[in-house]
Structure 1
Amino acid sequence: MRDLMAAVTKRPEVRYLVFGGLNTAFSYLLFSLCLLALHAWSVPGDYAIAITFSWLVSNLTSFLLQRRFVFRGTGRPVREFIKFTSVTFGSFLANLGLSWFSAEVLGFDSATEKLVSQLVVTVVLVVITYVLHRSFSFRKTGAEPAGMVAVEEDPHGTDDGESARSDTRMVDG
């Protein structure tokens, strides 16, 4: 069992599910408590305020967990935090937009409907932000983004007076 756990935790996807899941649960709890209180007081835009509050509180927690345990960041922490926050801020804006759409356009206006809608939005955004954090926020210095390849010039140029040409070949990044 210990070997299985060691093998499983070597995969960043599994670590993201565990630590990202803990932070997502924390963030959703903050959102839920805030939404229920604001909804009970009939505060307009309750979902937007709740999303903003939970994002502000959980962004730093999420960064610390993901940097240390998921992606094992080795870069400059401030730079990684700025890149991380740019991704999560984009996710925050998408969350606001999708939540607005579900509340204002689809008419999900009860507290229960807003809580369920937030769960659906969260699942979608978790997948997107994982990919962005892996390929942008915590990408190792000098590494190509996921799915990219580098083009390497042929070091053996021609010196025989013919038109110099550059042979290229694809190499994995």
Structure 2
Amino acid sequence: MKMENTPVTGKENKDELSPMLRALSQFYEALNSRDMELMSQNWLQGDEAAMDNPLGGIKRGWEEIRSVYERLFGSTSNYYFEFYDYTLHDAGELFYVVGRERGTFKTGDTVLEMRIRTSRIFRLINGQWRQVHHHGSIEEPELLASYQQAVLGRREADSEHHRRLS
């Protein structure tokens, strides 16, 4: 297993990447450019897709996952994320990456330096790699609360916090 040190930002020359890294890069391109069409192409369009992240809790199926990205893409915030310090695991018609995301999230007077543990699973479907699972965790309780409040607002952030405790 080889630790990868070059961050994946979405700005990579896709022609120079392996098909697996191309799918990962496409995700970060879609995220950082707020491109819902590209994000939709990256994810499996079915009920098998699942995501567990700091903003939306557990979402099952593309429609629920899409709603999390729509909220983020529709916000007035500025943000940038990249994936680094990761390993890629090839399992034939599946591959997964385990690593970290870092970035900056800005809204109003709030500026957060983001640090998120992240794993993503992709499956080969009709010759294309599609993301089928994402899990992201923010270890620092203060950063998690600040991020949720900045994106979701106080009331919804408190509700999400209580859901995670139950």
Between structures 1 and 2, the one with greater helix share: 1
The structure number with the bigger radius of gyration is 1
The verdict on a shared fold, with TM-score over 0.5 as the criterion, is no
Between structures 1 and 2, the one with greater strand share: 2
Choose between structure 1 and 2 for higher RCO, CA contacts under 8 A separated by at least 6 residues.
2
TM-score (norm 2): 0.29
